[in-house]
Amino acid sequence: MSTSFASSPRETYHHGDLRAALLDVAEALLDEGGPEAVSLREAARRTGVSPTAAYRHFADKESMQAALAVRGFDAFAAALAEAASSDPDEPLSAMGQAYVRFAVTRPGRFRLMFGTAVSERERHPELKAAVERASVGFRGAVGSSESSDKVLAMLRAWSMIHGLAQLVIDGMLPGYDPELLARAVTTKK
Amino acid sequence: MSTSFASSPRETYHHGDLRAALLDVAEALLDEGGPEAVSLREAARRTGVSPTAAYRHFADKESMQAALAVRGFDAFAAALAEAASSDPDEPLSAMGQAYVRFAVTRPGRFRLMFGTAVSERERHPELKAAVERASVGFRGAVGSSESSDKVLAMLRAWSMIHGLAQLVIDGMLPGYDPELLARAVTTKK
C-alpha cells in the first residue's frame, strides 16, 4: 500500500497512523502552550501533511482537543490504577500522589482534561466514556459501596486531591514539594 | 473640571473614574467569555473612549487582568469574612459554601483569579497582596496557630473546597446542587 518515491510526506501515512501522528504532535503543542495552543493547522504542518488531510480526521479544533482529552483520561486511569496496586495498604494516598504527579508533570494536559477547552462534553460520547473509565478506579479505591457515607468520602477525597493539584499548577502553593503535599493531605493522621 | 459640550464621551471621565469604568466593563467581558475575552480595546470601545485613553491606565491586557483579579480577591475576602461571621459555630462550613457560591456565580472571575491568565503573579505585587488578604480570613477560620497540624488542616480544607468549586464549574459534578455539596463535604460527620 505504500508509495515509493512519494512526492509528499502525506503519502507515507496510513489512515489510522496519521490520526495517531497528528495527536502525538498536538500533545506536544498542548505541553508547550496549554489547551489554547492546540491547532489543527499547526499539527498538520508539523506532521508534514496538508490541513485538508488533517481535517479528514478531526472536524475542528474542539474534536482534536476532545481526542487529546480521551488520551489524557486513559493515561490518567492507568496511572491511578498502577498507583493503587503499588500500595494496597494505602491505595488512596498512593493515588493522591499519582494524581498530583500527573497534573504537575503535564499541566497543559490536565487543564485540557478538566477545563473548558472541550466546552460541551455531552457532544463527545467517547470523552464521557473515558471520564467514566478513569473515575471507576478512583471509586474502587475509596470503596465500592454506594452508601451515602462512602459517596461522601469519595467526593471529599476527590475534591481534596483535585483542588491540591489545581492549586499547585496554578502557582498558589509555591515552595512546596507537590508530592509531599499530596502524601500529607491523604495520609490519615 | 468637566467640559461642557464635550465632543467625545472620553471628556466626561476623570482619571480615576475612567479606570474604574474600564474595569466595570472588563468585568462584564470576563463574565461573558472568561479570562481570554478580556480586551483593552473592547473595554475602551464599550466605555466610549479611545484605546489610547485606556492604555494610559493599563499597560497591556495582562495588567488589566491583574487589576480584575485584585478586585476579585477583595470581593472573595469580603464574601468569606461575611460567611464566617454569619455562622460562628461552623465558620468553615459557612465559608466553604460561600467559596463554592462565589465560583459558581461568576466562573470567569474565579478562573481568572486562580488560572494562568495572570501568568506571572510575581510581576503584580498588588495582586500578591490581594491574595494574601483573602487567605488571612481563611486561615483565621481554621485556626490561627502555626502548628503543623493546623497548617495541614488548613491545606486539606482549602484543597477540598477549591477542588469542589473547580469540579463544579468544570461540569464534572452535573446534577448536584453546588451549595449542598459544599455543605456536605465541610460538615463534620
A-interface mutation test, from B97, B138, B151, B160, most A Cβ less than 10 A away:
B160
Shortest CA gap A60–chain B (Å): 20
Q: Do B172 and A34 touch (CB under 8 A)?
A: no
Q: Looking at residue A11, what DSSP letter applies? A: G
Spatial separation of the C-alpha atoms in residues B83 and B166, rounded to whole Å: 20
- In this prediction, residue B80 carries a pLDDT of 92
Tell me whether residue A143 is exposed, middle or buried, using C-beta atoms within 10 angstroms of its C-beta: 0 to 12, 13 to 18, 19 or more: middle
Q: What is the mean pLDDT of residues B106-134?
A: 86
Burial B161-179 (b: 16+ CB within 10 A, else e): bbbbbbbbbbebbeeeebe
Q: Do A116 and B167 touch (CB under 8 A)?
A: no
- Reading the block at residue B78, the C-alpha cell is 469580603
What are the pLDDT tens digits along chain A (189 aa)?
A: 444 444 445 556 776 699 999 999 999 999 999 998 999 999 999 999 999 999 999 999 999 999 999 999 999 999 999 998 998 888 888 999 999 999 999 999 999 999 877 767 778 899 988 988 888 777 766 665 667 788 888 899 999 999 999 999 988 888 889 999 999 998 875
Which residue of B lies nearest to A107 if distances are taken between CA atoms? B116
Encode pLDDT of A159-187 as tens digits: 999 999 999 998 888 888 999 999 999 88
- In this prediction, residue B5 carries a pLDDT of 47
Which residue of B lies nearest to A172 if distances are taken between CA atoms? B114
Spatial separation of the C-alpha atoms in residues B36 and B11, rounded to whole Å: 29
A-interface mutation test, from B155, B161, B168, B176, most A Cβ less than 10 A away:
B155
- In this prediction, residue A172 carries a pLDDT of 86
Q: What is the mean pLDDT of residues B113-142?
A: 80
Q: Do B159 and A34 touch (CB under 8 A)?
A: no
| pLDDT band per the 50, 70, 90 thresholds, residue B62 | very high
Q: What is the ipTM of this complex?
A: 0.85
Spatial separation of the C-alpha atoms in residues A178 and A184, rounded to whole Å: 10
Residue B137 has pLDDT above 60, yes or no: yes
From A142, A140, A120, A121, select the one nearest A130 (Cα to Cα).
Answer: A121
Q: What is the mean pLDDT of residues B50-76?
A: 94
How many Å separate Cα A69 from the centre of its chain? 5
Q: What is the mean pLDDT of residues B24-32?
A: 96
A-interface mutation test, from B166, B176, B186, B187, most A Cβ less than 10 A away:
B166
Which residue of B lies nearest to A156 if distances are taken between CA atoms? B185
Which residue of A lies nearest to B35 if distances are taken between CA atoms? A116
Give me chain B's average pLDDT, please.
86
pTM: 0.86
Task: Check residues B183 and B12 and name the one with the higher pLDDT.
Answer: B183
B123 touching chain A per CB within 8 A: no
Task: Check residues A63 and B4 and name the one with the higher pLDDT.
Answer: A63
| pLDDT band per the 50, 70, 90 thresholds, residue B30 | very high
Q: For residue A55, give every residue at least 6 positions away whose Cβ sits within 8 Å of its Cβ, in sequence order, or none.
A: A40
- In this prediction, residue A2 carries a pLDDT of 45
A153 touching chain B per CB within 8 A: no
B158 touching chain A per CB within 8 A: yes
- In this prediction, residue A109 carries a pLDDT of 96
How many Å separate Cα B100 from the centre of its chain? 12
Residue B92 has pLDDT above 60, yes or no: yes
